[in-house]
């Protein structure tokens, strides 16, 4: 199992200031991807959580599906590849995390299963808005497709992202990830 995290804290505020001061994002910075992916640019999912958690995930899923680069397809409890969940845990491995994605496999370079956890109580304690939480969900779904952290200020894959939606570079990275053989990264 590999873990990708969004840390809460001071760096988040740095990002917010950069945005508020109108610093121009470096749009030429490509969003990186790792060596593994799903076999197809498509995955079946289930959402386990409150109606609010479901809302957050559904908005994030619609945003990624709208890019046309990947399809999140509803599955069933007995048949799915991706499990989307939430937890009120705040301690141990979840200390200062907003979200975390676990991927299983890879088998021959392909993911076999994945799980996303939104740390709901942490985000509430850090005054994340609904919009912030949606962007965390979009970020974790990015990991679940194979994306890695970007240094571009406008990327949803910024390590501490809570303000950015999906950029053109982010969706292009997904498009490239699924046209690049496993074992190779960007």
Q: Among the candidate windows 3-11, 22-30, 83-91, 174-182, which touches Zn ion by CB under 5 A?
A: 3-11
Residue 170 to residue 106: CA distance in whole angstroms: 22
Q: Which is nearer to Zn ion, 5 or 80 (CB)?
A: 5
- Measured from the CB of residue 106, what is the shortest distance to Zn ion in angstroms? 18
β-strand pairing of 82-87 with 42-48: parallel
Q: Which is nearer to Zn ion, 11 or 75 (CB)?
A: 11
As given in the structure block, the two tokens for residue 136 are 């965390």
Q: How far is CA 64 from the centre of its chain?
A: 10
Q: Among the candidate windows 1-9, 42-50, 71-79, 125-133, which touches Zn ion by CB under 5 A?
A: 1-9
The answer to the question of residue 80 lying near Zn ion (CB under 5 A) is no
- Measured from the CB of residue 19, what is the shortest distance to Zn ion in angstroms? 18
Q: Which is nearer to Zn ion, 4 or 162 (CB)?
A: 4
Residue 5 to residue 97: CA distance in whole angstroms: 7
Residue 183 to residue 37: CA distance in whole angstroms: 9
Residue 133 to residue 119: CA distance in whole angstroms: 10
Q: Among the candidate windows 2-10, 44-52, 79-87, 171-179, which touches Zn ion by CB under 5 A?
A: 2-10
Over the window 4 to 23, marking each residue x when it contacts Zn ion by CB under 5 A and - when it does not, the resulting string is: x-x-----------------
Q: Which is nearer to Zn ion, 29 or 75 (CB)?
A: 29
SS3 116: strand
Residue 28 Cα distances to 31, 128, 153, 166, angstroms = 9, 29, 11, 15
Q: How far is CA 120 from the centre of its chain?
A: 15
Q: Which is nearer to Zn ion, 4 or 80 (CB)?
A: 4
Chain contacts with Zn ion (rule: CB under 5 A): 4, 6
């Amino acid at each position: 199992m590999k873990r990708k995290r969004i840390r809460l804290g001071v760096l988040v505020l740095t990002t917010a200031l950069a945005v508020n001061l109108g610093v121009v994002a470096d749009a030429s910075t490509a969003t990186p991807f790792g060596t593994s992916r799903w076999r197809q640019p498509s995955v079946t999912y289930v959402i386990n959580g409150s109606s609010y958690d479901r809302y957050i995930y559904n908005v994030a899923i619609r945003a990624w599906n709208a890019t046309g680069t990947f399809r999140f397809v509803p599955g069933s409890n007995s048949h799915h590849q991706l499990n989307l969940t939430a937890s009120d845990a705040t301690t141990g491995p979840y200390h200062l995390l907003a979200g975390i994605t676990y991927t299983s496999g890879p088998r021959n370079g392909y993911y076999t299963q994945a799980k996303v956890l939104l740390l709901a109580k942490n985000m509430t304690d850090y005054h994340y808005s609904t919009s912030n939480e949606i962007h965390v969900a979009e970020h974790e779904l990015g990991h679940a497709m194979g994306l890695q952290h970007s240094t571009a200020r406008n990327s949803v894959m910024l390590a501490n992202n809570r303000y950015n939606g999906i950029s053109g570079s982010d969706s292009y990275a997904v498009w490239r990830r699924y046209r690049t053989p496993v074992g190779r990264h960007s």
